[in-house]
Copies of this chain bind each other. A is one copy, B any other.
């Protein structure tokens, strides 16, 4: 019985998170009210306050939900894994409002007085793990530091999606992500690893 209630609470939280993401994605932080979120979820504002303490609280939860919508869908290892994570991300951003809102809020958080590095550190840790595995398998050039590269890849992806959004609503983000790797890999991967990394079209498209 308690288990059923927990499951229902989790489903309600997920419902609210998705409703909030759809509002934030469309209208940004300032343009989104708790009333609208609750209405979209078909719930009361009271229910919303039961799960999230404030608008900022729900915005933070949306920002932190990014990797969980990507990571489980990638089954490769090492360098190929970091490449694939960014490629799935580049396709999912076009389709998934929860991911898109997370990215938008992370970039615009300064405009609503929040300066929270956690959503980026979360991505950094995911990337760093791939690069440590890559290093342990001998895929990295000597002197390549997994943490620095991870931080750069997170930074570059943030900038690339922002640029692509302004150019054409992110339509060519998957292509830009592949081009990023074409530029980066020669400075990261050993010459033997380089030709084995699969950058072929549609690899990142899990739809």
Interface residues of A (CB under 8 A from B): 28-30, 104, 107-108, 110-112, 115-117, 120, 148-149, 151-152, 154-160, 162-167, 176, 179-180, 182-188
CB distance from A103 to the nearest CB of B (A): 11
Asked if B111 contacts A166 (CB within 8 A), the reply is: no
CB distance from A171 to the nearest CB of B (A): 14
Bound form: Cα–Cα A64–B155 in Å? 23
Residue of B nearest to A179 (CB): B148
Known: A108-B111, A110-B28, A184-B183. A155 touches B166 (CB 8 A): no
Asked if A160 contacts B156 (CB within 8 A), the reply is: yes
Bound form: Cα–Cα A183–B155 in Å? 13
Asked if B30 contacts A30 (CB within 8 A), the reply is: yes
Residues in B with CB closer than 8 Å to A163 are: 117, 120, 151, 154-155, 158
Bound form: Cα–Cα A111–B185 in Å? 34
Asked if B187 contacts A183 (CB within 8 A), the reply is: yes
Bound form: Cα–Cα A112–B108 in Å? 10
Residues in B with CB closer than 8 Å to A151 are: 163, 176
Asked if A152 contacts B166 (CB within 8 A), the reply is: no
Residue of B nearest to A27 (CB): B113
